[in-house]
Amino acid sequence: MTFFIIACCIIGLVVLITWAKVNPFLAFLLISTLAGLLLGIPFSGIMQSVTKGLGDTLGSLVIVIVLGAMLGKLVADSGAAKRIATVFQNLFGSRYIVWAMTFTGFIVGIPLYYNVGFVLLIPIIFSVSYHNKLPLVYVGLPMLASLSVMHGFLPPHPSPMALVMQFEANMATTFFYGLCIAFPAIIIAGPLFSRTLKNIKSAEGKIHLVSVVPDANLPGIANSLISSLLPVLIIAFTALLTSVITDKNSTEILIFLSEPNVVMGLTIIIATYSLGIRRGKRLSEIMLVYTEAVKDISMILLIIGSAGILKQIFIDSGASKEIAAALSSWQLPPLLLAWVVTAILRLCLGSATIAGLTAAGIIYPLTVQTKVDPNLMVLSIGAGSLFFSHVNDTAFWMFKEYFGLSMKDTFRSWTFMETIVSVIGLAGVLVLDQFI
């Protein structure tokens, strides 16, 4: 009976979000409450589970996600992302322009969320395509493949960061493993796959005007790169020092500095100066940028928190133990099982973030009973969350409309690219699992 209730709740969640168009936060809240009642949690205990699930999930995430959004917004508004793109275009030249676009998407994708990066970089894609007389999809898909991989695989993006916290993984280790998987996924799904798409013709793209910083006012390339990559640099630097320093007090300081909240806090302090105050911006102007950034991700935070509620309902009702017992009887390795469950939810729900967080609530009980590497579990779910983007995914429609493609060509290009990324991500996780 428990599995029938859980299945009905998951189906109800899918129906509410995809068919009834209910806000995902409200859908999660409604289904979680209903699941609690049906699974036998007392009326007085349901709200305790709701509060605990929401609080525990957001309590460990809200700082790093908000600070990450602020950094991304500042990188975009300051023109640092445009500077990076321009320099890479000049560095690689017209012959290797597709690799320049790929590398730009990779660097810019570290601090920027996918939708923000898409809107920011789409004018650059159109400009490069026009000036080099190259097909739009051939030029643009490699950059978007990079953005998608960074968004789905690597912290400090919201879904990977939430998964890191839920599975008690290590952010630095997850990031390092993620890079090992991201590089082949980006190369194969980006520059190599795009070569097969040169014959796709784009209609007039529906590009929207965005605020563009004049070239003369752009920050320098060193400033742009360092500010964008600062979270990665701090994590790598502290991890390196921790591995060679034996003094206990020094090690404790380094561990503190490598904490995600501290890393992002230091990054914001430095970037506020390097991309803002140093370039003549008033502090009040920079704070307005940060305020807009928080508005942009407020709904993401609520969705992440509400997914935590559903997981807590499963735990408090005892359903999680039954889920773990049932899943452990499947003849599939835990990492492959996590990918399959997430991919199915992605097909049903559309949103990579929602699919990943929902799968985490289902898969988490199994990881408690197995010795699976939590860092690889985060990446397996991240890979599954990118599987086969189609008509219920907003990114599908953004790509179709901006690039002026038919449904057939959108499936042939965007959907297949996302599927390649997902499958290669799974393969990378399974390979790493053999050596770790």
- For residues 150, 155, 160, 162, the Cα torsion angle rounded to the nearest 10 degrees is -150
Whether the per-residue pLDDT at 231 is higher than 90: the answer is no
Domain of residue 287, residue span: 62-192+206-296
Over 80: is that where the pLDDT of 249 sits?
yes
Instruction: Say yes or no to pLDDT of 206 above 50.
Output: no
Percent of the chain with pLDDT over 90: 34
Is 226 among the domain residues? yes
Rounded Cα distance, 309 and 307, in Å: 5
Higher pLDDT, 277 or 344: 277
Could you please report the per-residue DSSP string of 29-65? HHHHHHHHHHTT--HHHHHHHHHHHHHHHHHTTHHHH
**Is the bond leading into 156 cis (omega within 30 degrees of zero)?**
yes
Scanning 60-113, the segments in alpha helix (DSSP H) are 62-77, 80-92, 97-109
One-letter identity of residue 289: V
Place of tokens 């701090």: 234
Is residue 126 scored above 70 in pLDDT? Answer: yes
Averaged pLDDT, 110-123? 75
Contact 316, 365 (CB under 8 A): no
Average the pLDDT over 232-253 and give the result: 83
Contacts 24+ apart (CB under 8 A), 287-293: 289/70, 289/73, 289/74, 289/77, 290/70, 290/73, 290/74, 292/73, 293/66, 293/69, 293/70, 293/72, 293/73, 293/74
Compute the distance between CA of residue 135 and CA of residue 74 in angstroms, rounded to an integer.
31
Q: What's the whole-number mean pLDDT along residues 48-59?
A: 87
pLDDT category of residue 308 using cuts at 50, 70 and 90: confident
In a domain, 168, yes or no: yes
pLDDT of 90: 84
Task: Note whether residue 14 is domain-resident.
Answer: no
**φ, ψ of residue 255 in degrees (nearest 5):** -65, -40
Concatenated DSSP letters of 348-398: HH--HHHHHHHHHHHHHHHHHHS---HHHHHHHHHHHTTTT--TT-HHHHH
Query: Which of 98, 200, 175, 127 is CA-nearest to residue 415?
Result: 200
* 276 is a domain residue: yes
Q: Determine the 3-state secondary structure of 294 from DSSP.
A: helix
Q: Mind spelling out the 3-state secondary structure of 169-220? A: CCHHHHHHHHHHHHHHHHHHHHHHHHHHHCCCCCCCCCCCCCCCCCHHHCCC
Secondary-structure breakdown of the chain: helix, strand, coil percentages, each rounded to the nearest 5? 80, 0, 20
pLDDT tier, 211 (very low <50, low <70, confident <90, very high otherwise): very low
Identify whether 215 is part of a domain.
Answer: yes
User: Average pLDDT for residues 215-243, to the nearest whole number?
Assistant: 84
* Residue with the larger pLDDT of the pair 264 and 61: 264
| Residue 13 within any structural domain of the chain | no
Question: Is residue 5, in this structure, part of any structural domain at all?
Answer: no
Count of beta carbons in the 10 Å neighbourhood of residue 49: 23
Domain count, the chain: 1
End-to-end CA gap in the chain: 39
pLDDT digits (tens, 9 = 90+) for 61-106: 788 888 888 988 898 888 888 888 888 888 888 789 999 999 989 9
For residue 350, being part of any structural domain is answered with: no
